[in-house]
Amino acid sequence: MRKTKIICTLGPATETTEALRQLIQKGTDVLRLNMSHATHEWVREIVPRIRRLAQIAGRPVAILVDTQGPAIRTGDLKINLHLKPGDVLEFTLRGAKSKEQYSVTVNYAGFVKDISVGDTVLVDNGLLKVVVLDKGRDRVRTRVLTPAVLGSRRHINLPRVHVNLPALTKKDIADVALSAELDVDFVALSFVREKRDIEQLRKLLSRKKSKAQIVAKIEDQLAVRSIDKIIESTDIIMIARGDLGIECPMEELPIIQRRIVKKCIRLGKPVVIATQLLESMITNRLPTRAEVTDVANAVFEQADALMLSAETTLGRYPTECVEVLNRVATRIERSGGAGYASDVQLQNVRHKTVASAIALANSLENSKLIVFTVHGRMARYASNLRPQRAPIFAFTPNEQVYRQLALCWGTFPVRIDFTGDPDETIASAEKFLRRKKLAAPGNRMVIVSDVRMGRAMIDSIQLRVVK
């Protein structure tokens, strides 16, 4: 049973019912809707379709809505600009005219104010690199450092520059409202810079009566510098290596990834590794060996989930990509992990109770860790401790918790109704495991649950044998 979870982004290559069915069948745990490209009409149509297909498959499949965020982009060009080192490229605010041979508008009104002479500007995922020569009231003149062809609406990165963009744009707010209406499971916040960005989104979700968990996307150096506070305030971290790899020196990216994964596991927050995991499979049926090694390293570090983007939105082989992740992850998990969970901070009594249950499960062959949870907290505690042997079966009566736990490492959620009789509920769980051939007679079940004693709820650990 694969412990590392798989997130797939939907797009033209995977939006049909058959393509969705195949992604779910092959083992996709979370489906991502990228609001940089998705329309509200499309989202309204595809969310119930995903839910219906997941129900037919009998699997928990969560939905993640990814906000576009306050991206800085160039404007439209009548023709592409063919630039060479030494050329002068002028960025102008909309409405301003340029006298330079090469110029392009910028959609961010604070661009001139935030930037300084000598700053580096990266355009189109770093393909174009320029340095600021001077600036005026509504324009910035730069010198081209790398040859490139500049097209319309290209993304701009400003490494080490603090930009005064809002955490949520008007579009983001509308997209979050739609997410709340459709009861999606996760909302990702793009270009998180500090703790208060997450707090702003959480307040908005609360006002919309949404219980969606927040995914903080780490995409620039400001977020890296504030990573401890961001981890503390969010529900999940996503290491978005696309923009992050542009904003930071390339040789630092693997170190940043490893450091964030270690911090997330130590502080008890799920962590997702994203971007270019299987980039070559957009056009090729097989991955490169370097990509296989990259995936293997992420699995060895015991990240909760791996995310595919263009591979499953536009790629020719989306289901094959899921098969590759499944195959590599399953094999690497058998070889062990980095062991970052040995440094987990046990923050409360419940956390310590779960740790004791895992210690017991790790000491027993063919054991199963059974967690009965209403809100998902005890199951997340168990996942965060990365049990060496026992899979985590999380039984919950809560439909959204059932889906949200699909993102957690090593956790296999099961939706059942709890009865007033704990023994009856345990018997129902055991019957499910037997029916699905997930447990056999003689297997030991280490059960973590809360037991009602009068008016008090008491956490308990039980050891039972499957009959």
* Residues recognised as catalytic: 32, 73, 217, 275
User: What residue spans of 234-271 are helical by DSSP H?
Assistant: 241-247, 253-267
Q: Which amino acid is at 205?
A: L
Q: How far apart are CA 189 and CA 71, in angstroms?
A: 12
Q: 456 with 439: CB under 8 angstroms? A: no
Strand pairing partners for 187? Answer: 65, 214
Q: How far apart are CA 77 and CA 153, in angstroms?
A: 8
User: What residue spans of 279-335 are helical by DSSP H?
Assistant: 289-300, 310-313, 318-334
Q: How far apart are CA 298 and CA 302, in angstroms?
A: 6
Strand order of the sheet with strand 120-123?
A: 102-106, 88-93, 139-144, 128-135, 120-123, 156-157
Q: 53 with 175: CB under 8 angstroms? A: no
Q: 41 with 9: CB under 8 angstroms? A: no
Q: Which amino acid is at 373?
A: T
Q: 379 with 400: CB under 8 angstroms? A: no
Q: How far apart are CA 306 and CA 326, in angstroms?
A: 10
